[in-house]
Amino acid sequence: MIAACLVVAFSVTGDDCPLARAARETGVPIDARPSQLRTDDNALLQFSAPAPDAAGHRGADRAEGFEELEEFETEDRSVDPARYGPVAETLDADDRVRYLHGAFAGDRVEFRCLSKRPCVVHALSDAGFMVESIRYDPDGEHHRGAVVGYDVLQGVLSVGADRSDVGDVDIAVERVHPLGATEGDTAGARRWSITSAQEAALRTALEMGYFAVPRETDASEVAAALGVSKSALLERLRRGHRALLEQVL
């Protein structure tokens, strides 16, 4: 058995799959579930994006949905993608996308479709990456999941160079740590995938009023309370902030 299972967050730039292109062209972030790759190399996608502001569209959509269910229509009919926002319009115009469907869910639109072009995540999975979540931002995409062992991690990182079918992509590790608790980790550190040192820095800074408005203490005083240098404190706060925001937003 392999001793190490690593929780990994990757950033990917240069992907030209439909979701990556839609996020880039519209400026709208897209949250995706792990896609399903069929034997014909087409992929089944499930993802969501912010809903347009017009609340009337959402109500109308729900009403029509119940009506259609009761009638059990046997023929597909088209709807205007504009009602579901710019992501829907962009994907509807992409000839690599088929069977696009959108449904309002609160302040988001849940989409499903078939993509004739697999995304980079499928190449990462082929190399051993077990994906948990994907976020497509206008400036790139972020993959979260796990790999078993450091050899597999190196194989995943080499996908951009070894797989010509994924295009000119750049893959970089944003964060990596062993799966499960390490000795000395607190419950908060395990829950939010931050180090115990980062959690201590965040908690102490919060308790001392560092995040208050106006600020009740400065970084030097917080660092002194922790017995670390000011630069070390600021680095822990920065890394801790980033880890928390990536998981919450």
Provide the pLDDT for residue 173.
Answer: 84
pLDDT of residue 243: 78
- Binned at pLDDT 50, 70 and 90, residue 84 comes out as very high
Structure tokens at 94: 């992409």
**What tokens were used for 144?**
């979260």
Q: How far is the C-alpha of 200 from the C-alpha of 196, rounded, in Å?
A: 6
State mean pLDDT over 137-165: 83
* CATH architecture under which domain 187-248 falls: Orthogonal Bundle (1.10)
Supply 167's token pair: 């295009």
Q: Taking a C-beta distance cutoff of 8 angstroms, is the pair 45, 112 a contact?
A: yes
Q: How confident is the model at residue 19 (pLDDT cuts 50, 70, 90)?
A: very high
Give CA–CA dist 24/5, Å, rounded: 32
Lowest-confidence pick of 31-45, 74-88, 181-195, 208-222: 181-195
Q: What percent of the chain has pLDDT over 70?
A: 80
Averaged over 136-146, what is the pLDDT? 92
What type of residue sits at position 19? L
Distance CA 136, CA 140 (A): 6
pLDDT at 175: 80
pLDDT tens readout for residues 22-75: 999 999 999 999 888 888 888 999 999 999 874 444 444 444 444 444 444 555
Please state the domain extents for the chain: 5-178, 187-248
Q: Which residue has the higher pLDDT, 119 or 18?
A: 18
248: left (phi over 0), alpha (psi -120 to 50) or beta: alpha
* pLDDT over 70 (residue 244): yes
pLDDT at 121 over 60: yes
| CA distance readout (Å), 137 to 157, 162, 184 | 20, 24, 35
Q: What are phi and psi of 26, to 5 degrees?
A: -95, -20
CA-CA distance, 216 to 209, in Å (whole number)?
Answer: 5
Q: Look at residue 77 and tell me whether its pLDDT is greater than 80.
A: no
